[in-house]
Structure 1
Amino acid sequence: MTLTKIPFAGSHGDSGRPRISAPSAWGSGRFSPRFSPPASSYCNSTPSAPPSYSWSRATAPWWMSFARSASTSLPPAFASRRNPFMHEVLDELVTVPGIKGGIVVTPDGIVVISRLANELDEDTTAALVGNVVTQTLKLLSLGRYEDMDRMILSASRGKIVIENLGNCLLVVVTNQFINLDVTFLEIKSAAKRIRQLGTLTVSG
């Protein structure tokens, strides 16, 4: 059993806001991307059982635009659910009235850590959020809107708030009655605390 520390916070661009960076390509297992991100985003450790994962060249434009700062990203295989500090942040966040759950995911839909209500499946939620963010950012890139700080999805039964953490996303699920003007303070505070953790300690 070995412990490896992976830099977690994304690099900051000229505007001082974090940028989403490309997922790492590594190993010779089932993870075989057809587009290679910068070498600086590679991880030195190779997992024993990399997940089945791939992305196509069609996603390259927005990955590249959000990886220009060449920050070290969080590889999907190192999505740890054992980080106690993140759990503490999410545990506190879900006690806020109206918040049904929180989950940290990579931009490509891999679960890092989750505190969702029982009726919400974390893998499905992460995959849907990853797809929405990917398609939205590809659309925004056409108009040269390269930064995303927050995204809000509203539905008849609730809302989903997506906060940019740099190389990951904080996804908060609320009910339909919540006052987001007040709850934003709690969500922004949780996002800031997760960024300040600095590293993820994972086992491999």
Structure 2
Amino acid sequence: MKKILMSSLTVTLVAFMVFPSISGADSAVNEGQVVDSNEQFEVNGVEYEQKFMENESERIHKITDDEGTQTFITDKESGKITVESNYLSVDEIKKVEEKVNKLANDIKDDIELTTENDNVEIQSPTGDISWSSWQTSTITPEDKTDVSIVAAAIGSAIPSVGPIAGPLAGIFVNHNMRTGYFSYRMGTQLDTDSNYVNQYLETRIYSDSARNNLIGTETSGPNRVRAY
């Protein structure tokens, strides 16, 4: 992991720290640190619970509804997603794996870096959050009703969005969207402990490619990350 250099109250964050899916870096967290996030959301009257975890080698995305749990495991070296389930048959799991890997690869292929300046100036802990420039991605899943597949593909292809991938997929499905147009950015702020920074993620989903018609917004954070 590349070090972040601190000078007074200013820290320069390079792009791979902010959006690891673009640069190929392993994670937005430092070596040995684990991301562990829980979210609950509702889609068409069905309650879902999402648990998103990340370690040095894997991203693990568990999604539970009234039928049971599907677990999507992304190998960070190969990018391949394998699926486990306590209620799907072997043949059904194989079909889910095919769908989620295809969708995740499509999302990766479509990601655009829309920033002209990759540096983020971080203010004091009591000041405003400093935001990176926006990045964009588009998804058009074949099966638009399977929330678990959409959420897992988003979380695998765009790791920084993983903790809120379920609610984002819920917005997509609840609005019967054929294609979802995403924009996302990272906000950073110094912690009261100078060894750490606080990171925030804002994600917006639009119904049009020009990204004028906003359908929903999800924000997560602060997540406390060691700065070196």
Relative to the length of structure 1, the TM-score reads 0.31
More helix per residue: 1
Q: Which has the higher contact order (CA 8 A, sep 6+)?
A: 1
Pick the structure with greater CA Rg.
Answer: 2
More strand per residue: 2
